[in-house]
Structure 1
Amino acid sequence: MVQLAEKFNADLMRSVYKYDQWLKEEVVPHWVESGFSDNGAAIERFLENGEPDIYANKRIRVQARQMFSFSYAQHHGWISNGPALVQKIESFLTAKTDSQIPGFYPHALDASDTVILPHRDLYDCAFFLLAYGWRYHVFNDLNALNNAERLISQIELQLKGLKSGWDEGTIETSVRRQNPHMHLFEAFLTLYQFTKDGRWLAYAGEMFSLFETVFFDADNKVVREFFNADWKLNAYKGHIVEPGHMMEWIWLLMQYHKFTKKPVLHYCTALYQQVIQIGVDEDACVLFDEVSPTGEILKATKRCWPMTEWVKAALALSKAGDTSFDYESHAAWALNVLLTKYRNTQNPALYIDQLGADNQPLESQAPASTLYHLLMAHAEALSYVG
């Protein structure tokens, strides 16, 4: 087991301050100033030199995540034009897609804004629900709340799956994933937090039930990722475990406990201990992208976003009063890793998406989709230090 508390004794308050300054002074301003196409679309990513990748296809989930990001930045007073930025994205989606239901958009467009993947995707829908919740919270946007209502009705109508949960989308697939359901859990909890409408908490309860009965593997103390239509483990991908998602579930479960008082700590501590046991590269103390339930390394690369989930999980468990680990030191370490290993030293406004097996930068592009993760870690860190 990696003894982080013995190796590192970072000052959490200082780490949070540096992280806050990096996002506020460098990262977010760059996305605000240069993160849009001429037609209002949020760009897919920045290249290593800081220029927008104008040739990249546009994943529709990125538009939703950036709606969230600019709402969050407005909430913290980092920007004053959040409504205008969100409206640019909204106008782009209206102009370039054929959807009559907000949030129920085609999965992807090419660089010229032609729809290339017309199916609707559950993962995308989850992030539009999250974005609508934040738009309502920050801007008192009643239209966004109405959009959320219309979108969940459409999800129920078209994507409700057999044997609980929802289908992957409007396209047939032999594999079902926990990941879209995890993000629906997040969106439902967010909408309940901001509206206090019990229907959203009821939907979250459905996701919690899936976690207990399907996703959580009690024997191995891991979260399973890939399933067949009947929620049995997929024969080809069922062995894959993502440490980052396990950390993400810890934070979400603690959020669910906050609203329901449902006992979840036994799940959270089991998951955390297992991530530390099987999911950490001991040379650099960063999280592997994929491992097996027994700790076999399946992908020795390490993306940026799992470290943000480590921050959230550690601080949530510290708040809960668990003393299994020195969670504050773990969170401070994860923040410092984000500020050092995943910060682009040539262009500090950018982050590095992925490290290789040797813990050196492998992918120096900065995807827009990662900004959501960075900001969610900021939210938990700021909440923790008060």
Structure 2
Amino acid sequence: MLNTTLATCQSFVFDQLLRNWSTYGINKELGFSYESMTHNWENNPVGRIRLLTQCRQLYTFSHACQFKNTPEWQALLTPLFDFITTHYFIEERWIFSLDDDLSVKDRQSDAYALAFILLAFSHYFKTTNDERAPQYIKKTHQFLLDYMQAESGGFYESYPIDDKQIRRQNPHMHLLEGYVAAFEATQDEGYKKAIQSLLSTALKHFYHKESKTLREFFNTDWSLDPQTGHQVEPGHHLEWVWLLYQANKITPNIEYTDLAQQLWLTATRHGLADNGGIYNQIDGDTYRPIDKEKRIWPITEYLKAITVIPLGKEEKIHRLETALEFVQQYYFLPNGRWNEYLNADNSPKTYPLPGTSSYHIFLGVAEVLRWSKKLPDMSH
């Protein structure tokens, strides 16, 4: 039954994973999150502490406080926000990473990480009303427009610009997510314009009409990269499904909900493994799996997509039950730990706990919780 499975997953996320990360994964003295943890809940230094990881943790705990007002989590938010603004905002732009000793490591501004400034600071603002957050969001938005926009559409991967670099759809997807959150938090029309621009970029450049797939890797002019242009990630198809429906609440357009439905069909027909779970990667031309391993995040994106795609109630419940049971059986471990990767046969790979993954795990379960509250009767 969905109720029972969902309650177990909710307890795993809120009472185990987030509780343990807030206890062991955050340096209370300095206010930052560790990049990675061992399965014994000990810090696992990896030689860098990324802006991305700090933002994902700030987002996760800020959003979690909107579900469950936990004083211990509330207490983490402003120190984490202060750590991010103090250590990563240098000379009016965001840098990529610090070293393990918190000295500056990589000074590049990374479009993917900037997307998470938008997302994290929007939710931090909603939770705390700290007026500094929307000011930083505005500065980040302006920096993207002034320094990272490409003439051919979309944004470059990083600043300083390297126009020979392979361009990816992935940072654009997360920028869309960040701008949706920024608009919801501030109602600033500039962010709505950015949403519309990113949506049209997706339809024009990322969606491959012949194969009905979302492509990942491109040259500067948006032609497919000759080496990697055929690679397709079912998880990203599903992530876009959810995002297209979020964006549609702000700027309704049937073209984009039609795109979402097409991406859903491609991902569910070709990306779901027969033995459960979702392949990391398939070939966009033949639809055959390229990488049969199953990282945890694609199935959490599947959960989110199920909640928004137009399906009958019975089918939604069946898909959610099946996916949540798979997550519980193969990914979730006692004491809030998880398997980050499964092999093709669903056996777990040995891998530490990345500080970036709780964002996916939390949001996947949170969206199902939000959806289920709209359903009066789930005893089925």
Alpha-carbon distance change, 292 to 55 in structure 1, aligned in 2, over 3 angstroms? closer
Range 144-153 or range 291-300, more displaced: 291-300
Query: 1:87 deviation in Å?
Result: 2.5
Alignment-derived partner of residue 266 in structure 1: 258
Alpha-carbon distance change, 114 to 243 in structure 1, aligned in 2, over 3 angstroms? same
2 CA distance for matches of 1:98 and 1:65?
16
**Alignment check: 8 A CA contact 1:20 1:378 kept:** yes
Query: 1:215 deviation in Å?
Result: 0.8
**Alignment check: 8 A CA contact 1:44 1:56 kept:** no
Alpha-carbon distance change, 56 to 76 in structure 1, aligned in 2, over 3 angstroms? farther
Query: 1:221 deviation in Å?
Result: 1.3
Alignment-derived partner of residue 226 in structure 1: 217
Quick one: which amino acid aligns to residue 30 of structure 1? Answer: N
2 CA distance for matches of 1:121 and 1:164?
17
2:232 to 219, 236, 241: 241
**Alignment check: 8 A CA contact 2:25 2:41 kept:** no
**Per-residue deviation, residues 347-369 of structure 1 (Å, max 9, x unmatched):** 43111111112211114321111
Alignment-derived partner of residue 376 in structure 2: none
1 CA distance for matches of 2:303 and 2:294?
15
Question: Considering only aligned residues, what root-mean-square deviation do their CA atoms show, in Å?
Answer: 1.9
- Is structure 2 residue 371 aligned with structure 1 residue 353? no
**Alignment check: 8 A CA contact 2:22 2:73 kept:** no
Q: How many residue pairs align between the two structures?
A: 368
1 CA distance for matches of 2:86 and 2:131?
21
1 CA distance for matches of 2:123 and 2:250?
18
Quick one: which amino acid aligns to residue 40 of structure 2? Answer: N
Query: 1:370 deviation in Å?
Result: 0.7
**Alignment check: 8 A CA contact 1:355 1:363 kept:** no
**After the TM superposition, which residues 311-322 of structure 1 pair with which residues of structure 2 at under 5 Å, given as runs?**
311-317=303-309, 320=310, 322=311
2:180 to 185, 189, 192: 189
1 CA distance for matches of 2:139 and 2:359?
24
**After the TM superposition, which residues 1-386 of structure 1 pair with which residues of structure 2 at under 5 Å, given as runs?**
11-37=1-27, 38-97=29-88, 99-101=90-92, 104-171=93-160, 172=162, 173-263=164-254, 264-283=256-275, 285-293=276-284, 294-317=286-309, 320=310, 322-323=311-312, 326-344=315-333, 347-386=334-373
Quick one: which amino acid aligns to residue 76 of structure 2? Answer: L
Quick one: which amino acid aligns to residue 259 of structure 1? Answer: I
2 CA distance for matches of 1:97 and 1:125?
11
Taking structure 1 as the reference length, the TM-score comes to 0.90
**Alignment check: 8 A CA contact 1:16 1:335 kept:** yes
What percent of counterpart residues are identical? 26
2 CA distance for matches of 1:357 and 1:62?
28
What SS class does the counterpart of residue 165 from structure 1 fall into?
Answer: coil
2 CA distance for matches of 1:125 and 1:160?
13
**Alignment check: 8 A CA contact 2:24 2:41 kept:** no
1 CA distance for matches of 2:294 and 2:51?
24
**Per-residue deviation, residues 172-231 of structure 1 (Å, max 9, x unmatched):** 142000000000101111112222222211110011101111111121111100011111
Q: Show structure 1 runs of 5+ residues with no match.
A: 1-10
**Alignment check: 8 A CA contact 2:196 2:251 kept:** no
2 CA distance for matches of 1:249 and 1:97?
29
Taking structure 2 as the reference length, the TM-score comes to 0.92
Q: Show structure 2 runs of 5+ residues with no match.
A: 374-380
Quick one: which amino acid aligns to residue 361 of structure 1? Answer: P
Range 60-69 or range 329-338, more displaced: 329-338
